[in-house]
């Protein structure tokens, strides 16, 4: 709290919302028109990376927060951004999420259609795998991010399983590289609760060029937790890939990125 109050202008105007998995603190301004993220000194580079990605995205047709202010001291940094009106898709009922789903797919498609050559941010498979190697070497994989069947497996074995497919996935990536969100889970899609249309994307600190399936795997898997009926999940799966123009979704490729992603957080 003291760190945040030292970095936030007029600290009494801000309400603490949560602390994220990264350890950053998130605040909402009392008028609901702005949010602020506060990072400790060890996390300043990561928060600056999110700032730079938002600056690059501005004006490119992707609905996302705009930068209001950046403050940095010896203790940490604070990024203040405009708020996107709406609610996180994770807060929707399964029925409402299904209604919002097409516009969510369209918004992700706009991001994926941006020119790769103009994006200076990289989230390539080789970089993701190197990150996984580092996390596993420190025995730092968060078990909460792993599927139940993998929670008790040695981390080195989980990494080795990913490594077996690396060559073929690198070849696929080279043919299907897009600008990815990096963490397109339901809390990061903001939806208008009245029209049930996607109003924008948030938490873009992992944005970068990557295989589009790195995004699609997370979006599909995370959304599936909102539906109890299997036919709803399959319907959403079909809608997503139809909107993105993918005639034959590669389920093995989706599974690969779901195995890799939990190893990169730590």
Active-site positions? 183
DSSP codes, the chain = -HHHHHHSTTGGGEEEEEE-TTS-EEEEETTSSEEEEEEEGGGHHHHHHHHHHHHHHTTTT-----EEEEEE-SSEEEEEEEPPSSEEGGGS-HHHHHHHHHHHHHHHHHHHTS-GGG---B--HHHHHHHHHHHHHTT---GGGS-GGGTTS-HHHHHHHHHTTHHHHHHHHHHSEEEE-S---GGGEEE-TTT--EEEE---TT-EEEEHHHHHHHHHHHHGGG-SSHHHHHHHHHHHHHHTT-SS--HHHHHHHHHHGGGG--
């Amino acid at each position: 709290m003291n760190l945040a109050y030292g970095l936030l202008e007029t600290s009494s105007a801000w309400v603490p919302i949560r602390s994220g998995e990264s350890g950053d603190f998130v605040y909402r301004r009392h008028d609901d028109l702005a949010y602020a993220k506060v990072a400790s000194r060890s996390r300043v580079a990561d928060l600056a990376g999110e700032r730079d990605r938002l600056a690059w995205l501005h004006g490119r047709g992707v609905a996302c927060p705009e930068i209001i202010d950046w403050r940095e001291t010896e203790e940490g940094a604070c990024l203040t951004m405009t708020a996107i009106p709406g609610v996180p898709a994770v807060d929707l009922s399964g029925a409402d999420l299904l209604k919002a789903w097409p516009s969510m797919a369209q918004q992700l498609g706009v991001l994926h259609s941006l020119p790769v050559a103009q994006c200076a941010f990289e989230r390539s498979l080789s970089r993701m795998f190197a990150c996984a190697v580092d996390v596993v070497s420190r025995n730092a994989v968060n078990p909460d991010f792993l599927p139940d069947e993998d929670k008790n497996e040695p981390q080195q074995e989980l990494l080795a399983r990913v490594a077996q497919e690396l060559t073929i996935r690198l070849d696929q990536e080279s043919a299907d590289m897009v600008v990815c969100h990096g963490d397109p889970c339901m809390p990061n899609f903001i939806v208008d609760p009245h029209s049930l249309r996607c109003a924008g994307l948030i938490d873009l600190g992992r944005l970068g060029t990557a295989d589009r399936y790195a995004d699609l795997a997370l979006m599909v898997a995370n959304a599936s937790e909102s539906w109890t009926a299997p036919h709803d999940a399959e319907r959403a799966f079909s809608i997503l890939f139809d909107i993105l123009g993918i005639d034959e979704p590669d389920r093995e490729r989706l599974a690969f990125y779901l195995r890799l992603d939990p190893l990169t957080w730590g």
